[in-house]
Amino acid sequence: MATQIKVLRENLISKLASVKEDNVSIAGIAIERRKLLEALKLQKQADADTLTISYGNVSWQYEYKNYSDGRWELDPFTLEPKPCIQISCNHTTMRFMHCPKSKNWQEPKIIPLNFTDHRSYIKPELNGIPFDTRELISALTYALHGVATEESRPVLCCVLFDSGDNVLKLVSADGFRMPIISMPAEGIPAGKVLIHSSDILKLITFLKAVKPIGKGKGKYYPEVYLAYTDNGLKFSHDNGMIEFEKQDGTFPNYEQLIPKDEHSKVEFIASDMLQAVKSISNIANDGSGIIRLQVQQGEPAGKISVSASSEEYGESTVECDALVEYSEYHKTAPCQIAANNHYLIDLLKLCGDNRITLKIRQSSSPMVFEIGDNRQAVIMPMMAQW
């Protein structure tokens, strides 16, 4: 079987799954589609990603001959060479003779399959800083929700990759909100690179294509490697590599935008607050999108009154339990602030059932949300009448 091509197993499975007929053919050899697909899906080993397809004439040797009266006698003989397809990897070899499935003695319909030869496919060299694939997807998704949608300030249409001191920070800002997420990255060099939001979407798609290894509790995802290049960033894993060109411009000094003054702390469950904000979101939309937050201490727990009002619907208020720690300022002044309801919903949707700490200085100061040990978000307040 001298003629060979190499194909990616996932491509072969994808083509078989898209065919509706009973039979397919490879190099003119007809195979029952369902049987071939079931056999390929049983190959779970990591080294079965690339398959070798060989085709040509093969001979079959037998030691016994079966006679018409049912007798088997020792009688070595060789069948004439017949066309055959052989599909193999490092641990499995499957051979298929021309044997299409037919129904009601009708001529079977056979769909030919064509493939790209991956004989010259070389796995990319994996260098750079390793990251957990799923954690990186989550971090990029979190950072992406604060990107500006208008191109009037191009740098705000990007996500900043800010690295150094064994940490990678992903930051975005649109002038009204600023999510920040930190990821441990031992040995990462210092650098700041702006990547456009359209490229971030491509990167997320690239990362989601990484296939897990193993099943059940033993399932895990291969790491992805980040490396700085002269023109931007490169991401690679065992089955692919993608590069992005950095954008020109200087991102705002985001650390200076995070209030450092004394503030009150309000701790609540993200999903509880999300439900409260959503329940009055329609009213807020009719009233310039303003959500008012009023914080009160209490025993054993305090509360956040979440309200919105409009001329058409009037005012509606929902309460959410919270742990409240007043600053000296709020011991003599109301602890209240207003925010855009869409900004709150976008943030809370990404937080699940996590505990969030909201830090409030004054009603005119930026709000700081802290989610866990590695996520922050700064949201600018709105002017509202109380």
- pLDDT at position 259 is 85
The verdict on 38 and 86 lying in the same domain is yes
- Domain termination site, one of 68, 87, 112: 112
Q: Phi first, then psi: what are they for 172, rounded to 5°?
A: -140, 160
> What is the pairing mode between strands 367-371 and 355-360?
antiparallel
Q: d(Cα 115, Cα 10) in Å, to the nearest integer?
A: 12
DSSP labels for 236-256? Answer: EETTEEEEEEPPPS----GGG
3-state secondary structure 274-297: HHHHHHCHHHHHCCCCEEEEEEEC
Q: Name the amino acid, one letter, at 260.
A: K
- Burial track 307-342 (b if 16+ CB lie within 10 A, e otherwise): bbbbeeeeeeebebebebebbeebeeeebbbbbbbe
Q: Do 290 and 372 fall within a single domain?
A: yes
Q: What is the pLDDT of residues 323-340, one digit of tens each?
A: 999 999 999 999 999 999
- 108 and 220 in a single domain? The answer is no
SS3 label, residue 50: strand
Query: Considering the domain boundaries, does residue 39 fall inside one?
Result: yes
Q: Please identify every stretch of the chain with a pLDDT value under 70, giving residue numbers as ranges.
A: 1-2, 43-48, 59-65, 75-79, 118-125
Are 107 and 165 members of one domain? no
The reply to whether 158 falls in a domain is yes
Please give the helix or strand (H or E) that residue 224 lies within, else none.
strand 224-228
| 268 is a domain residue | yes
**264 and 235 within one domain:** no
Residues 152, 186 share a domain? yes
> Of 230, 260, 238, which Cα lies nearest the Cα of 359?
260
254 within 8 A of 159, measured Cβ to Cβ: no
In a domain, residue 52? The reply is: yes
Q: pLDDT at position 301, please?
A: 83
Are 165 and 239 part of one and the same domain? yes
In a domain, 37, yes or no: yes
Domain of 148: which CATH number? 3.10.150.10
For residues 22 and 107, membership in a common domain is answered with: yes
**Over the stretch 228-270, which tens digit does the pLDDT of each residue have?**
999 999 999 877 889 999 999 999 999 998 888 889 999 999 9
249 sits in the region (left: phi over 0; alpha: psi -120 to 50; else beta) called: left
Q: Distance between CA 48 and CA 44 in Å, rounded?
A: 7
The reported pLDDT for the residue numbered 44 is: 65
Confidence at residue 342, expressed as pLDDT on a 0 to 100 scale: 95
In a domain, 119, yes or no: no
Last residue of a domain, one of 85, 112, 139: 112
| CB-CB contact of 53 with 5 (8 Å) | yes
Whether residue 158 contacts residue 194, with contact meaning beta carbons closer than 8 Å, is answered with yes
The residue from 52, 87, 112 where one domain ends is 112
Count of domains in the chain? 3
β-strand pairing of 23-26 with 110-112: parallel
Q: Can you give the pLDDT at residue 39?
A: 83
Q: What is the largest CA-CA distance in the chain?
A: 107
Residue 251 covered by a domain:
no
232-237 β-sheet, strand order: 129-131, 224-228, 232-237, 240-245
Q: Do residue 285 and residue 234 come from a single domain?
A: no
Residues in Cβ contact with 112 at an 8 Å cutoff, skipping those fewer than 6 apart: 24, 25, 26
User: What pLDDT, on the 0 to 100 scale, is given for residue 217?
Assistant: 76
Domain with 60 in it: 3-112
Sequence-distant (6+) residues with CB within 8 A of 204 are 137, 140, 141, 144
CB atoms within 10 A of CB 229: 13
Verify that 270 and 375 share a domain, yes or no. yes
pLDDT, residue 60, reads: 64
What pLDDT shows up at residue 77?
A: 65
Strands 72-78 and 110-112: unpaired
Q: Please state, as a whole number, how many other Cβ atoms lie within 10 Å of the Cβ of residue 353.
A: 9
Q: Which residues does residue 26 pair with via DSSP β-bridges, in sequence order?
A: 29
Paired residues of 310 in beta bridges: 314
Please give the pLDDT value at position 45: 66
Regarding whether 207 and 280 lie in a shared domain, the answer is no
Same domain assignment for residues 220 and 265 = no
- Examine residue 250 and state whether it is found in any structural domain, yes or no: no
Sign of the torsion angle spanned by Cα atoms 51, 56, 62, 66: positive
